[in-house]
Structure 1
C-alpha cells in the first residue's frame, strides 16, 4: 500500500493520463554525528560563501503545514553551515501522479520528487525521472556506504539507479492491518497473528460497538500472506495480473486473477460482507474513520501504526493502534522498495539533488531536522521519541516522513509503544530474501498490453474487493478480456526477464 492512499482505479486512471502525455515529455543511516562528508558537495563554508546558491524544488503529495516555512529556513541554514550551496523549497501537488507527469511534460522544473515502486518503471520509461548513477558516484558516498545493496536495488531499472528507496522492514510491508489495540484488549481477544484471531476481533466489534465499522475498504492484499504469499512483478494495491510462487523452484510466471489463491481471497472478503463485518460504502472515509474512532480495522503498511498514533491518541482517549500481520507458513522479502525519492527529468541539478538526499541520511541531526523540524519549535525530544503535544498550531510541521523513512534513523512518537518499535527492528530477521529483490520489469515491449490490462483490472478490482460483484459470475468475462488485451504476451515477456535476472544473480 502506498502511504499516500488512492483507490486503485484512480491510480490506473492517472497512469493512463501519463501515457497520453508521455510523448510531450522532456527528455540512511550513517550516524557519524556530523563528521565531514566525503563527497564533493561538502566544501567548506568559506568556499561555499563565494558560490552561487543552487535552488532546488521538491514535489511532494499532500498539503503544506503551518510550520513549513520556518522549518525550511532552519534546514537551509544548516545546509549552508554544512557547506552545501543548496536552498530547498517544497511544492505540494494534489492529484499527485497526474499533476507530476503533466507538469514535467510541460517543462516544470522539479529536482526531487516522491516515487513509488509500482509506477517507477513506467514513469522512468516516460522520462518523468532521470537516472542518477553519476550523481550518486559524485555526491552520494555516505548514502551508498550506509544503505544495504538490496535496498538500493529497489530503485534500479535494468541496472540503472532511478530512485532511492526508504529503508524499512520489507516482509509483507503492505500486507498488514491496523486495528484498535485497546478494543482488542477490552473484549479479551489475544494478540492477533491468525485469521481466526482477526475474525474474533471483527465479531467482538460487531456485537459490542454498534456504531463502529468492523472493517472498511476494498483492500484485500492483507490476506495474501495466508492465501497468496507470492511475488507480484506488476501492479499495486491488489491489482496484480501475474505472480510467481517463491516455493516453485522454476519461478514460473502465472496468471493471478484466475488463480485458486485469488479466488480464496475474494471468497473470504465475501464471507466478511455476509457476516456484516465488511462495510461496502465507497463514500465512507476509511482512513479518517479509523483515526476518529468510527472504524475498527483497515488495511495498512508496517509503518502506518507509528505514523497515525498521535492522531488516534488525540481523537480517541485511550486509543491504541496495533499492526496485525497474518503469519504465513514462511516469511519472504520480495522487494526492497515502495516509497522512494527520485530526480525528475526536468532537473538540471541532479548532483545537488542527490547531495541533498545524501545529507538527509548522513547523520541523525540532519535526518531529524528534515523529518521533524526544529527541536523545541516543531517538536520536543523526549527519551529519544518525538513529542508534538503542546506545540503551537502555527508551528505544526508535517514533512511526510513515510517518503524517505529509514529504520536506522527513524524516531517514533512518545505514544508508540517501545515494544512495537523493537518488533519493527527485528521484523525481517527470520525472512528469506528472494532472488526477485531488485527486479524491475522492462515494460517497453509490452507497454500497450500492460496499459490495457490495467484498465480492465480497474473495471473489476474495487467491486471484487468490496464483494459487491460475484467473482464466479464475472471471472470468465474478466479473464477473456485480459487474454484479449495481451495477458499471455505479458506472461511470456515477464518470464524471459525473470529467468535472465535470476540467472544473473547466481553468477
Structure 2
C-alpha cells in the first residue's frame, strides 16, 4: 500500500499497518559479541528499534544454527537521510556487506553492487526457489542479478478509497465506482453535504492514473510503454487519451473545489486514520489481503475501495525492496548466506517482522501460523514485512481468513506479467537530456497532475519545452532498447 506512489521513501513512511504495508524501522548495531564470527553488516533505512538487542540475539542464534561462524549486525540510517547518505557511501567506495538498494539499475550499471547471479545459486538456492519467478525477470540488469528481492507484492493495483465514516453518514453510494469519472457524483454529493473536509486528498507529488501503462524511467519522466504488449511504441503519457481524460476530470474537480487549492505545492499529510479526507488513491497487493492493510493503517475505521486499474506483474514492483551486496564487500559469501537464512527460516523472518514472541505477539493457532499482536507491538519493535524477507513465510493475523490466503495465492498465480517486465534501460547515452527533461517536468508535473492547470494548454507548453530538452532523442534510444529487449525475449 503506497500513498500517491510518490517514491519509495515517502511510500514507506506515509502510513503504518500490521501487514505488508506495515512501516519498518531500522535497528541498533548492538547485536552482541562478534568474537570469532564473521560480522556481516546490513544497512537499512529507519530508526533503531527499542527491542533490537533481544531481537538480534534470537536472529543470530537462528542464523548460527546453519552458519555458526556468521553474525548479522544491522546499521540503521533514518528514512530522511538514507538516500543521500547511502549515495555518499557508494560514491566514496565505503565498504559494506548488505544494504537496502537505492537507484538499483543505475548503481548496478555503474558497478557499485556485486554480481549475485552465481552467488545465489551457490549459497541461496533454497531462497531463490521460493521467490516468485517474475522477480528474477524484473531484477535482472543486462542479464545479471545485483539485488535479492523481497518476495511480497509482486504486483500492485490502484484503488480509489473512500472514507467509510462519511459514505455512511451521508448515505453516499460508491459501489459503481471503477474510474475517476465514475466517482464524480460521489465527490459532488460529499462536497455539498460537508464543506469542512477535503473531498479528494491530493497533494504535491500525486500522479494521475495511467491504467495499462508502465513508466520505464519512473513516473517523474514522461515516457510510458503499454503493459499488455499490444502497443510496442514508447509514448508520452500526457498525449494518451486515457491520461488526458483523467487530467480533465481532475481539473474539473479542482475548479469545483473538490481538490485543495494549494494541491500543487501542498505537503499536507492526509493520514489514513484521520477523517480529514473523503476520497484518495492508494495501491495494494496480494499480501495486503484486500482492505486488511488499509484498515489496519486506518485504525479499524471503515473504508470502501474500488480497483481502477488492471494489475500486472511489472518491473517497478519487483524492484520495490531489494538487498544488494557491495562490490567491495569482503564477505560476499557470508552476506548471501545471511539472505538465504532470512528468506527461508520462519523464526528469523517472523521475529524481525512481528517482534518478540510473548512481548509483541503470541500464537492463537500455532499449527496454522495464526497470531495476534499484544500491547507491546508498535512501530519501534518490528521491521516492515514489505522490505524484510519472503512474506510467504510470515505468520498471519488471526483476522486473515483461509479464504483470503487462497485468494492471495490465486491472484499471484493468475495476474499476468507486463510486456515490459525485465526491461531496465541503460541511461548512459542520454544523461544530459534526462537532466534537461527533469528540469522541464519540475515546472509542470505537479500543476498538471493535481488538476490545478487546464491540462490541454499546459501540456502543449510542456511538450514544446520537452522537445527542446531532447525528449525525441531519449524516446528514440528507449525505443531501440525496448525493441532489442522484445527481440531477445
- The two structures have a TM-score, normalised by structure 1, of 0.78
Equivalent residue of 1:101, what SS?
helix
Q: What is the deviation of 1:399?
A: 0.8
- Deviation per CA, 1:438-469: give whole Å up to 9, x if none: 12111122233223322322222122222223
For 1:155, the equivalent position in structure 2 comes to: 139
Q: Would you say the 8 A contact 2:208–2:243 is kept in 1?
A: no
Q: Would you say the 8 A contact 1:310–1:415 is kept in 2?
A: no
- Deviation per CA, 1:273-294: give whole Å up to 9, x if none: 223322344445335x322332
**Total equivalences in the alignment:** 452
- Where does 1:16-415 land on structure 2 (aligned, <5 Å)? 52-84=36-68, 85-93=70-78, 94-115=80-101, 119-171=103-155, 173=156, 175-181=158-164, 183-184=166-167, 187=171, 189-191=173-175, 194-195=178-179, 198-218=183-203, 221=207, 223-225=209-211, 229-235=212-218, 238-246=219-227, 249=230, 251-279=232-260, 280-281=262-263, 282-287=265-270, 289-303=271-285, 306-307=292-293, 309-313=295-299, 318-321=300-303, 323-328=305-310, 331-335=311-315, 336-383=318-365, 384-391=369-376, 396-404=380-388, 406-414=390-398
Per the alignment, do residues 68 and 291 of structure 1 end up closer, same or farther by CA in structure 2, a change over 3 Å counting? farther
For 1:22, the equivalent position in structure 2 comes to: none
User: Which deviates more, 136-145 or 399-408?
Assistant: 399-408
Residues of 1 paired with 2:259 and 2:406: CA distance? 32
For 1:475, the equivalent position in structure 2 comes to: 459
CA RMSD, 1 decimal:
3.4
- Deviation per CA, 1:158-185: give whole Å up to 9, x if none: 10101122334444x1633444345445
Q: Would you say the 8 A contact 1:240–1:256 is kept in 2?
A: no
Residues of 1 paired with 2:220 and 2:240: CA distance? 13
Q: What is the deviation of 1:75?
A: 1.2
The runs of 5 or more residues in structure 2 that have no matched partner are 12-32
- Deviation per CA, 1:308-359: give whole Å up to 9, x if none: 543422xxxx50355532145xx54333332222223443322222222211
The runs of 5 or more residues in structure 1 that have no matched partner are 12-48
Equivalent residue of 1:298, what SS?
strand
Q: Would you say the 8 A contact 2:254–2:451 is kept in 1?
A: yes
Q: What is the deviation of 1:194?
A: 0.8
Equivalent residue of 1:88, what SS?
strand
For 1:36, the equivalent position in structure 2 comes to: none
For 1:498, the equivalent position in structure 2 comes to: 482
Per the alignment, do residues 493 and 224 of structure 1 end up closer, same or farther by CA in structure 2, a change over 3 Å counting? same
Q: Would you say the 8 A contact 1:333–1:432 is kept in 2?
A: yes
Residues of 2 paired with 1:274 and 1:260: CA distance? 21
1:445 aligns with 2:429: yes
Residues of 1 paired with 2:337 and 2:376: CA distance? 31
For 1:17, the equivalent position in structure 2 comes to: none
For 2:450, the equivalent position in structure 1 comes to: 466
Q: What is the deviation of 1:398?
A: 2.8
- Deviation per CA, 1:126-183: give whole Å up to 9, x if none: 4443322232122111122222332112211010101122334444x16334443454
Per the alignment, do residues 322 and 136 of structure 1 end up closer, same or farther by CA in structure 2, a change over 3 Å counting? farther
Residues of 1 paired with 2:185 and 2:4: CA distance? 30
Per the alignment, do residues 9 and 417 of structure 1 end up closer, same or farther by CA in structure 2, a change over 3 Å counting? closer
Residues of 2 paired with 1:399 and 1:273: CA distance? 38
- The two structures have a TM-score, normalised by structure 2, of 0.80
- Deviation per CA, 1:41-100: give whole Å up to 9, x if none: xxxxxxxx9993122222222322322332222212221233341222231232322221
Residues of 2 paired with 1:103 and 1:376: CA distance? 38
Residues of 1 paired with 2:415 and 2:338: CA distance? 32
